[in-house]
Amino acid sequence: MKTMNKVLEKFLSTRLLSWVFVGFLISYLLFFIKPIFFSSTIMQFPEYIQTIDPIGYDLKQMRSYSESLFINKQTPYIGNNLYPPLASVLFGPFLLFTFSESYKILSLLTFLAFVLLPFLLRAGKEKATLTWLFVLVGLFSYGFQFEVERGQFNIISMFFCFLGVWIFYFHKKSRILAYILFSLSVQLKVFPFIFILLFVDNAQRIKTNILRLAGLLFSNFLLLFVLGSGIFIDFFHAIKTQTINPGIWIGNHSIKAFVTLIQGGQSWNLPFSKVIELILLVLIILNILIILYRTLGQKEKTPNPFLLIACALGALLIPSVSHDYKLSILVAPFAYFICRIGDLEERIGSIRHRIISIFMVLFFSIAYFSTSFSYTNKYGAFINNFPMLLLMLLLLNFLHLLYQPGFPSLTSVIQSFRGEE
C-alpha cells in the first residue's frame, strides 16, 4: 500500500509541464514516426504542403489587388480578394519592389513577427527558455511553413494585434496606440477582431468597457469605407460569396469544410447540414463566452491565458474559410498559456481534480501538437484539424473551471499521502 501511495504521490506531484512534453512525444509518434516509417515497406515522406507555383502565390495576388487600385485606378476586388479594403492600401509599398524581392521581405517580416510574438505577452523572464523552446518547435511546424510558402500574413496581422494587447496591459497611458494597432490587424485580416475580448480589463467598470468595445467596433466598421462606399459593397459581396461557397478541402479546418468532408465531400441535404453547422458554431461561441464570463470577475493585470487561447481557437474555427496556414497563429498563445498554467497549478489540490487536470493537459497538448503535422501524416477523422481544435477548446473550458480559486492547494494533496495532515 505504501508503494502504491508513493507511486501516486509521484504521479500527482509531477509538474503539468512534464505532461505537455509527453503530449508532444505522443503526437510525434502518432503523426510523424508511424506514418513515415511504419505505414509501408519503404519510408513514406510525401509533399506535406499542397504547393502552388509560384511560391508566395497569395502575396502575388495581394500585389495584383494593390496594382488594380493604385496603377489601374480600379476596384481592388478582382479575382478572389477577400481582404478588407485597407489591406490593398497597406500592401501598396510592395509594388516598389519586384515580386521576388517582395516575397523575401514578407518572409523576413513573418519570421521576425513569429519569433517576437510570444514575448509580447510577457509570460515572465524566468519562462524565456521555455518560450524559446516552443518558438523553435513552431518554426518547424506545418502551419508556419505553409504560411511562408503561400506568402501569407496571418502572423504579421497577429503581431499588430498582440502588440496592441501588450500596450493595453503594460503601457496604459498609450492605449490609443493599442487601439490603432488592433484596428490595423483587423483591417489586414478580419479574424483578429475576436481578440477584442481581451480589451475588457475591469468588469466592474461596465460603462467604460462598453464604450471601449463599441468604439473599436464602430471605428473598424468605418475603416471598411476608407476607399468609398462602392469599394465597401464590393468587399461585402466578396465575403458573402465566400461564406456561401468556401473552398472545401482537407486543409480547410472551418466548420462548414469539416461538416462537408466527413460525409465524403458531398453536401448533405441543406436543412440538416445547416443544423449541424449551427450546433457546432453555437458550441464554439458558448465555450468562449463561458471562459470570458469566468474571467470578468478577475482583475487581470496581464492577458488572461485561458481567454487568449480561447480567442485564438475561435479565430481558427469560426470563419467560413480557415486554411491550415492560420495554424501558425496558435503557437504564441499556446506558449503563453503553458507558461502561465505552470504558475497557477498550485490552485488545483483535490486528488480527483489533480488527476483530471493531468489527463486534460496531456490530451490538450496532444491535440495542439497534432496540428504541427501535415494532413498527409494523418488518418480517419483527424485528417482535418477541426476535431483537434474543437477538442482543445472543450478541454480548455474544463481546465479553466478547475483553475478557479477555491480548490485545495496541491501541497495539501501531497501532504495527505504523507500523513502530515
If phi > 0 it is left, if psi is from -120 to 50 it is alpha, else beta; for residue 373 that is: beta
**330: confidence class by pLDDT, cuts 50, 70, 90:** very high
Q: How far apart are CA 332 and CA 132, in angstroms?
A: 10
Q: How many angstroms separate the Cα of 60 from the Cα of each of 69, 91, 92, 154?
A: 14, 11, 12, 15
Residues whose CB is less than 8 angstroms from the CB of residue 323 and which lie 6 or more positions away in sequence, other chains included: 146, 247, 251, 252, 253
**Looking at the domain assignment, is residue 79 inside a domain?**
no
- Residue 252, beta-bridge partner list: 323
Q: Any idea which of 22-36, 52-66, 231-245 has the lowest mean pLDDT?
A: 231-245
| Average pLDDT estimate for 79-94 | 94
**Looking at the domain assignment, is residue 288 inside a domain?**
yes
Q: Between residues 41 and 76, which one has the greater pLDDT?
A: 76
| Average pLDDT estimate for 93-106 | 97
Q: What is the DSSP letter of 90?
A: H
**Looking at the domain assignment, is residue 413 inside a domain?**
yes
Which DSSP string corresponds to 235-270? Answer: HHHHHHHHHHS---STTB-SHHHHHHHTTTTPPPPH
Nearest to 338 by CA among 356, 363, 365: 365
**Looking at the domain assignment, is residue 346 inside a domain?**
yes
Q: Any idea which of 174-188, 289-303, 368-382, 389-403 has the lowest mean pLDDT?
A: 289-303
Residue 377: give the domain boundaries. Answer: 2-43+97-199+246-418
pLDDT tens figures, 298-318: 777 789 999 999 999 999 999
| Average pLDDT estimate for 359-374 | 94
| Average pLDDT estimate for 330-342 | 90
Which DSSP string corresponds to 160-182? Answer: HHHHHHHHHHH-GGGHHHHHHHH
pLDDT of residue 409: 46
Task: Write out the three cell numbers for 286.
Answer: 458558448
Over 70: is that where the pLDDT of 405 sits? Answer: no
| Number of residues that make up the chain | 421
**Looking at the domain assignment, is residue 226 inside a domain?**
no
Q: Between residues 120 and 247, which one has the greater pLDDT?
A: 120
Over 90: is that where the pLDDT of 196 sits? Answer: yes
Exposure b/e, 304-334, CB count within 10 A at least 16 = b: bbbbbbbbbbbbbbbbbbbbbbbbbbbbbbb
pLDDT of residue 119: 86
**Looking at the domain assignment, is residue 22 inside a domain?**
yes
Residues of the chain above pLDDT 90, percent = 61
Q: What is the mean pLDDT of the chain?
A: 87
pLDDT of residue 269: 52
Exposure b/e, 17-38, CB count within 10 A at least 16 = b: bebbebbbebbeebbeeebbee
Count of the separate structural domains present in the chain: 1
Q: How far apart are CA 219 and CA 227, in angstroms?
A: 15
**Looking at the domain assignment, is residue 77 inside a domain?**
no
pLDDT of residue 291: 94
**Looking at the domain assignment, is residue 276 inside a domain?**
yes
Task: Write out the three cell numbers for 397.
Answer: 473550458
Over 70: is that where the pLDDT of 268 sits? Answer: no
Q: How far apart are CA 76 and CA 84, in angstroms?
A: 10
Residues whose CB is less than 8 angstroms from the CB of residue 137 and which lie 6 or more positions away in sequence, other chains included: 24, 372
